[in-house]
Chains A and B, each alone.
Chain A
């Protein structure tokens, strides 16, 4: 193994840190507020009229009400207020970019540049209710209808829960080994510790009437037409399985990896010390995935982690808060740099990454161009985080636009009896909370359609 003085090992290595370091690095980023902290913070809410935070929430949670319920010592009532609108309120409390949603809209920003910590308050009450196993919803009388839900991610789970409430039976078909979707596989580890995603799936399905079948992939194990034939309705809630490629020289070298795979591996590994990471890591991209991969590389012990983004800070999809979190963890974020080629080097196990050649970029006449000036950043691991795409087969004649499923405001697709929501639809925002809203609303639309179809003919005047 190549060594430079007494510095860290070069190459992609596991076990760079002590056990204590791993534990500290991957602990809960924001631990739950204790009762006193929650009371102090909830006191700050002004209980606004037509509250801007509520309008900013994709699931329209009644935020002033749930905060007031915390303040008056009723966290269980508070949790119900949250779950009424968002049954995945526990995960959303952890992963929502609140700084661009509810907390950005908080009037305390105008008053003193410090919003009420809505996300952490939401976690306070949802955690208490979930730990106590409090179930707030029961199923209506069975309707005898069964609905297929494709994908056990946020959209599918929200849809399944709402359908179960209406008395329908739900079969959820999930391609991966575990349910949860991005909540299970795509969230930075320190944002949802202790198997929270799995516990939340259990909490949601505890209502009954929901059967999750794992290892069932659309296009491989069944097709959409199979589902429309077998079930009373179908909800498509798939995520983005495809990953954008760089299309540059050296992309196939050992050490060039997809950030989403790295993040998924981190989430699934109980023991982080077995996960290898480069001494020098470069992450390409400007979104949340890039940030999550970069921070976690650093937390795994990478000595030097650089995010290269081809546009400016203001263009990054990652919020300023996420960018600050990255820089606070020692990640260097460099703007106006586009990947040009990946430089390889022969080693005992074949050619592997040695660095990346980047080209400086600029905006000219509203277009992003390369300036021709280039440089090299040494790296032994490169993560690609330049976007994901919807790639699915088995959807038959379903109408697409720009690679995503076309839906109307209720979530209805071009095929009768088929609804869709989440990242697979054109209006998806790549947010857990938006996926929940879409799944929930599509379920209401399905329930309405099935109820209308079940009406006796005499009722139609």
Chain B
């Protein structure tokens, strides 16, 4: 039986599945239910400074996009940080932590970008005996207009400064939550590291408008006929998050910095992919908001069963395993040649591979052979682009098969070269020519 216990910057939890700072972790009632369902930890919904709490809109806070059968693919929100009194939250956090000592509780914090504000709140949080803090430098809506959230996360110097204050004023582990609304995620990550952060967590939500009501011409969610950009999350953002996690994991300056992976994690597979790309644990929100807390049971069993099947004994066996395989385009092997292959027994003859290739790619798939509807790859035309695989509705019906070294590539008329050769060495690359001269 695989050991999926998690130790993230010294914070221990029975599994690597935490609920992200968001509505599901707003109060003791929800968090207790989450722990009962099996979640390993929670990041308590973001606390603001002492005083009258923020107010939320009283109309809709969420918008969404859907896939087939109205499966929720992306969620957008304009909700602010907790709108409950600071001391109510602190009291509940302390109580829940006492009741659930084996689970992780991390406090998310967002206060103005002033030393005094952070210095004031940190001892209050520390007193609750929760396990750590997460600095919310991510929320792209509402609070950012007031100089907080992503307004801080978009300025590396501010990140470094605030992290430094936190490390100065608390003994608790500091996790810095990053916004993806920035051109290069490595810069804020490096700044957090320079400030002394114990870890980063990412991604926060992406600035977005999910849709427009074509009757009223109001963006959704519509608050009295007007809309504001929100933060986008859910399965649709996972690829963006995976890339950003990997970028930090393989950056020489931040290499080894613990990462809590966030962004569209819905199943154990999503979680395993984040771990493989360098996350030390994962945080989940949209999947819980869509299906309820019970999904963690699928995640725990799925991850554990897969690890057993593959012989991975602990999370350390899988964390970062894919990181060495992430590289720059210029280092990809140009002598690797693959061709699509259609399994005729699995083919249902929908023809989508043909029309995709015919209309938009390389005219490499037949539609008719000897007067019969038949879809087959013409290797002499196939560049191995993988589009047919992606549009085929039947899993594993079309596969990409590598041509072995020594075999003839019927498209180019050349024999597959067994050696590795990339763009940096290619004769068409002007930079490569210069180097040779």
Q: Which residues from chain A sit less than 8 Å from chain B, CB to CB? A: 39-40, 43-44, 46-52, 107-108, 110-111
Contact among B69, B70, B348, B373 with A50 in the assembled complex (CB-CB below 8 Å): B373
B355 at interface (Cβ–Cβ under 8 A)? Answer: yes
Interface residues of B in 54-80 (CB under 8 A from A): 68-70
Known: A40-B69, A43-B68. A49 touches B352 (CB 8 A): yes
CB distance from A166 to the nearest CB of B (A): 34
Q: How far is the CB of A55 from chain B (nearest CB, A)?
A: 9
Question: A44 vs B351: C-alpha distance in the bound complex, in angstroms?
Answer: 15
Please indicate the chain B residues that have their CB under 8 angstroms from the CB of A107 in the complex: 348-350
- Could you say which residues of chain A place their CB within 8 Å of the CB of B70? 39-40
What distance in Å separates the Cβ of B73 from its nearest Cβ neighbour in chain A? 13
- Provided the pairs A39-B70, A50-B367 are in contact, do residues A111 and B352 lie with their beta carbons within 8 angstroms? no
Q: Does B393 contact A (CB under 8 A)?
A: yes
Question: Does B354 interact with chain A (Cβ within 8 Å)?
Answer: yes
The 9 closest A-B pairs by CB, nearest first: A49-B351, A49-B355, A110-B348, A43-B68, A107-B348, A48-B350, A46-B350, A111-B348, A107-B350
Bound CA span A49–B394, Å: 15
Complex CA gap A39/B373 in Å reads: 29
- Distance (Å) between the CB of B126 and the closest chain A CB? 51
Given A40-B69, A52-B373: A47 and B367 within 8 A (CB)?
Answer: no
Distance in angstroms between the alpha carbons of A39 and B349 in the assembled complex: 24
| Chain B contacts for A48, CB-based, 8 A | 349-352
Summarize A's interface: helix, strand, loop or mixed: loop
Complex Cα spacing A110 to B346, Å: 9
Q: Provide the residues of chain B in CB contact with A110, threshold 8 Å.
A: 348-349
* Shortest distance between the CB of B230 and any CB in chain A (Å): 23
CA distance A47 to B356 in the complex (A): 12
- For residue A116, give the distance in angstroms from its CB to the closest CB of chain B: 11
- CA of A51 to CA of B68, assembled, Å: 20
How far, in whole Å, are A19 and B348 apart by their CA atoms in the complex?
Answer: 48
Give which listed residue, B348, B349, B352, B373, contacts A47 with CB less than 8 A.
B352
A-B contact pairs, 23 of them (CB 8 A): A39-B70, A40-B70, A43-B68, A44-B68, A46-B350, A46-B352, A46-B393, A47-B352, A48-B350, A48-B351, A49-B351, A49-B354, A49-B367, A50-B351, A50-B367, A50-B373, A52-B349, A52-B373, A107-B348, A107-B349, A110-B348, A111-B393, A111-B394
One digit per residue, 1 when the CB lies within 8 angstroms of any chain A CB and 0 when it does not, for chain B 359-397 equals 000000001000001000000000000000000011000
Residues of A within 8 A of B394 (CB): 111
Q: For the complex, what is the distance from the CA of A47 to the CA of B70, rounded to whole Å?
A: 18
Q: Which residue of B lies closest to A48 (CB)?
A: B350
Q: For the complex formed, measure the closest distance between the CB of A302 and the CB atoms of chain B, giving whole angstroms.
A: 42
Residues of A with C-beta under 8 A to B352: 46-49
Contacts of A47 in B (CB 8 A): 352
Look across to chain B and name the residue whose beta carbon is closest to the beta carbon of A112. Answer: B348
Q: How far is the CB of A454 from chain B (nearest CB, A)?
A: 40
Q: Which residues of B contact A52 (CB under 8 A)?
A: 349, 373
Residues in A neighbouring B350, C-beta threshold 8 A: 46, 48-49, 107
With both chains docked as a complex, state the minimum distance between the C-beta of B94 and any C-beta of chain A, in angstroms: 46
Q: Which of A47, A107, A108 has the most CB of B within 10 A?
A: A107
Beta-carbon contact of B69 and A43 below 8 Å? yes
List the A residue with the shortest CB-CB distance to B353.
A49
Across-interface contacts of A111 in B (CB, < 8 A): 348, 393-394
Residue with the greatest number of chain A CB neighbours at <10 A, chosen from B351, B354, B367, B394: B351
Interface 1/0 per residue, B328-361 and A, CB below 8 Å: 0000000000000000000011111011000000
Least CB distance, A234 to chain B, in whole angstroms: 38
CB distance from A231 to the nearest CB of B (A): 43
Given contacts A46-B393, A108-B348, A110-B349, 17 further A-B contacts (CB under 8 A): A40-B69, A40-B70, A43-B69, A46-B350, A46-B352, A47-B352, A48-B350, A48-B351, A49-B351, A50-B351, A50-B367, A50-B373, A52-B373, A107-B348, A107-B350, A111-B348, A111-B394
